[in-house]
Structure 1
């Protein structure tokens, strides 16, 4: 998914109304902000409709307006956001500490307590997008770090195999891996993984 711009014109918004019945006023404000309201889900009549709507409509931002967020809704939303991350702005008149923790765990970008003030909607939408972009950047950095660590471990294991099997020292084993990678046009991690797999097959016989 492409990360949405912080610019509001053209922003595709999916709204979920959980009994507050403010969607007409919100629609007018979104029109004024030049956003695009792709749909309004009535969570009172269709409590399980939000995940399917997220998948079908692929909005840039989800706006949830409720009295108090139900834990089943937050759990549903968390599963959907794990598969397809989205910026989510949640308005609630009240939230318990457990509901607040569940909202953050679910991946809601901005839980906003004390309800919806329409004159603040524009800045809150931008803040939600900025928080979402920040969280996604942190996740990308974490995945990159984890990948680098996993690849380093593969290279260390492969170097150990070469040292054991060919009597090489650490530097010579590493240079051997680099040579294999350059010759085959592969990464060090790929060559290391193949070497480890081959060693495991040979040792299993």
Structure 2
């Protein structure tokens, strides 16, 4: 049984970027009904270069884009801004070719909605964008952690090889020696291994 609670929308700081402000009045009314906080509305037609600076300046918790179809320049701005500060993005478009969908997702868009935005579905779509962003951030953290652990494991293996070569130890004895050095110095195995590798490179004849 799923007991997870829905992500909260009241008080959510939303930046709306609308192509020509065609539907912004309807979206504003629905955001008010959902008790979200609309921090600003950007007209992507009148201000095509305003999206990136607005994201940096206003720091919304979610970006809602409503357009006919995503322009390459807009997606480039978006990708640069999200690289600086990731955040959930809901992109609503009348139409999108497959390559535009791929470009949007690569730029950091959390959720895509085609063929317009039914106001009654806005709350569910905002929830979906928040959940998808949270899921993606968790996956990225886990990937970074796995990469760090792999890099640290490689350092320990290299350091163990140095001890085996220089002190005539077997694998287990070399590993225990590294552990003892780490405990004595109050450091991690990886930190001790890195120091040992650096020392070996300095002392090795060139």
User: Does the residue aligned with 1:38 lie in a helix, a strand or coil?
Assistant: strand
Alpha-carbon separation, structure 2, partners of 1:113 and 1:203: 62
> Equivalent residue for 1:159?
160
User: Does the residue aligned with 2:174 lie in a helix, a strand or coil?
Assistant: helix
Within a 5 Å distance, the mapping from 1:29-178 to structure 2 comes to 29-178=30-179
Alpha-carbon separation, structure 2, partners of 1:33 and 1:93: 23
User: Does the residue aligned with 1:186 lie in a helix, a strand or coil?
Assistant: coil
Q: Does the Cα contact within 8 Å between 1:19 and 1:67 map onto a contact in 2?
A: no
User: Does the residue aligned with 1:183 lie in a helix, a strand or coil?
Assistant: helix
User: Does the residue aligned with 2:204 lie in a helix, a strand or coil?
Assistant: helix
User: Does the residue aligned with 1:16 lie in a helix, a strand or coil?
Assistant: strand
- Superimposed CA distance per residue, residues 18-67 of structure 1 (whole angstroms, 9 cap, x where no aligned partner): 22521121111111100001111111111111111111111110000000
User: Does the residue aligned with 1:103 lie in a helix, a strand or coil?
Assistant: helix
- Does residue 179 (structure 1) correspond to residue 180 (structure 2)? The answer is yes
**TM-score, normalised via structure 1 length:** 0.95
Shift of 1:204: 5.4
Shift of 1:128: 0.7
Alpha-carbon separation, structure 1, partners of 2:130 and 2:139: 14
Give the gaps of 5 or more residues in structure 1: none
Alpha-carbon separation, structure 1, partners of 2:205 and 2:61: 51
How many residues align? The count is 201
Counterparts in 2 of 1:10 and 1:195: CA distance versus 1, 3 Å? same
Alpha-carbon separation, structure 2, partners of 1:18 and 1:199: 61
Give the gaps of 5 or more residues in structure 2: 1-5
Alpha-carbon separation, structure 2, partners of 1:100 and 1:19: 21
Q: Does the Cα contact within 8 Å between 1:20 and 1:66 map onto a contact in 2?
A: no
Q: Does the Cα contact within 8 Å between 1:67 and 1:94 map onto a contact in 2?
A: yes
Structure 1 consecutive aligned stretches of length 4 or more whose deviation exceeds 6 Å = none
Shift of 1:86: 0.6
Alpha-carbon separation, structure 1, partners of 2:135 and 2:125: 15
**TM-score, normalised via structure 2 length:** 0.94
Shift of 1:152: 0.3
- Superimposed CA distance per residue, residues 97-144 of structure 1 (whole angstroms, 9 cap, x where no aligned partner): 110110111110001111111110001100110111111111111111
Q: Does the Cα contact within 8 Å between 2:16 and 2:63 map onto a contact in 1?
A: yes
